[in-house]
């Protein structure tokens, strides 16, 4: 993750002020025509709660990769954190936690968008702190909290690249689950194979996919998932059958999962069944758990 010069200790924002900040920021974004916006960058550089969080555009050159975790963050989990931490390979890499808010005018459940953004900020705080603890120089890079109105990965990648926020020359790496890869390569989402090529050719020109295997559900075991991805890259294989390009798979990396059974839905289930405190250990970080308990999220 990229690193600001001599960053001060990161302040802890007042929870009510942070909810208000994200509510106002979300209203501003949805009232605009922008497809993508970074709302704030961690670590916060002001220790004064009267100064709201703010974004910091990429200034370091040459820039590293932009590591994008695109999720509903309902809530962020330790699996999300592990996906990010293992994807960052250079001090110049920068992390973007991205929330799609196309339906922001409809009350999302079970946690509102402003509260999800607060939990994303909490996840970002945890990532920066963990990276700082592991780094000899004592700082943990930068994490952006952003929003988009675009529902599809190829549109999100274009919006991020064309925003100018990160400058030029950076590869965009999207973190995704195996099930998401299957959906991305489904021609029906694009109106057929021609539409899929029109969408995914520019996507894979500017972006990569780091795909986490999911071996705890309907997608089969590790061997089946590895065989599926290998088959997509073979000449005359499944990719060519569906009208895609096997060259795309050079931009896809398949990695092991983290903590089978750790998911946002699992957290919601545990809380709904009356679990809190230590029951959430290993499922969410301390900062995120604070929001879940303080706001009584997922109790119903």
Q: Are 126 and 115 in contact (CB under 8 A)?
A: no
Across 52-56, average pLDDT: 82
| pLDDT value of position 62 | 57
Give percent above pLDDT 70 in the chain.
86
| pLDDT value of position 139 | 52
The confidence band for 278, taking pLDDT boundaries of 50, 70 and 90, is confident
Buried b (16+ CB within 10 A) or exposed e, 264-293: beebbebbeeeeeeeebeebbbebbbebbe
Domains and CATH numbers, the chain: 21-43+60-261 (3.40.50.620)
d(CA 226, CA 240): 18
Q: Are 79 and 259 in contact (CB under 8 A)?
A: yes
| 9, 145, 149, 283 from 75: Cα distances, Å | 26, 14, 20, 10
d(CA 297, CA 111): 7
| Residue of higher predicted confidence among 57 and 231 | 231
Give percent above pLDDT 90 in the chain.
68
d(CA 53, CA 12): 11
| pLDDT value of position 140 | 59
What are 59-87's pLDDT values in tens digits?
655 568 999 999 999 999 999 999 999 99
> Is 24's pLDDT higher than 50?
yes
> Is 109's pLDDT higher than 50?
yes
| Residue of higher predicted confidence among 109 and 143 | 143
The confidence band for 33, taking pLDDT boundaries of 50, 70 and 90, is very high
Across 28-53, average pLDDT: 84
Question: From its phi and psi, is residue 35 left (phi > 0), alpha (psi between -120 and 50) or beta?
Answer: alpha
Question: From its phi and psi, is residue 73 left (phi > 0), alpha (psi between -120 and 50) or beta?
Answer: left
Residue in the structure block whose two tokens are 């924002």:
13
Across 188-216, average pLDDT: 95
Task: For residue 113, report the phi and psi dihedrals to the nearest 5 degrees.
Answer: -60, -45
| 30, 111, 174, 197, 210 from 88: Cα distances, Å | 30, 28, 12, 29, 11
């Amino acid at each position: 993750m990229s690193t600001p010069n001599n960053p001060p200790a990161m302040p802890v924002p007042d929870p009510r002020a942070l909810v208000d900040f994200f509510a106002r920021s979300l209203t501003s974004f949805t009232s605009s025509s922008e497809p993508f916006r970074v709302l704030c960058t961690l670590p916060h550089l002001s220790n004064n709660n009267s100064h709201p969080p703010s974004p910091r555009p990429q200034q370091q050159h040459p820039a590293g990769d932009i590591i994008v975790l695109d999720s509903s963050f309902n809530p962020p989990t330790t699996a999300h954190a592990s996906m990010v931490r293992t994807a960052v390979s250079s001090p110049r890499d920068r992390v973007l936690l991205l929330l799609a808010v196309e339906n922001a005018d409809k009350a999302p459940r079970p946690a509102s968008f402003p509260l999800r953004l607060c939990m994303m900020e909490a996840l970002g705080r945890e990532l920066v702190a963990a990276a700082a603890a592991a780094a000899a120089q004592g700082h943990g890079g930068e994490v952006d909290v952003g929003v988009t109105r675009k529902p599809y990965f190829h549109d999100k990648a274009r919006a991020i690249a064309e925003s100018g926020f990160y400058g030029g020359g950076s590869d965009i790496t999207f973190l995704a689950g195996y099930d998401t890869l299957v959906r991305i390569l489904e021609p029906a989402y694009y109106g057929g194979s021609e539409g899929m090529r029109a969408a995914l050719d520019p996507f894979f020109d500017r972006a990569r996919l780091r795909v986490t295997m999911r071996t705890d559900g309907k997608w089969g075991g590790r061997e089946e998932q590895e065989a599926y991805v290998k088959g997509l890259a073979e000449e005359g294989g499944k990719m060519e059958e569906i009208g895609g390009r096997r060259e795309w798979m050079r931009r896809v990396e398949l990695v092991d999962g983290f903590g089978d059974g750790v998911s946002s839905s699992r957290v919601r289930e545990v809380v709904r069944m009356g679990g809190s405190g230590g029951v959430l250990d290993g499922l969410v970080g301390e900062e995120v758990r604070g929001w879940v308990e303080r706001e009584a999220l997922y109790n119903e």
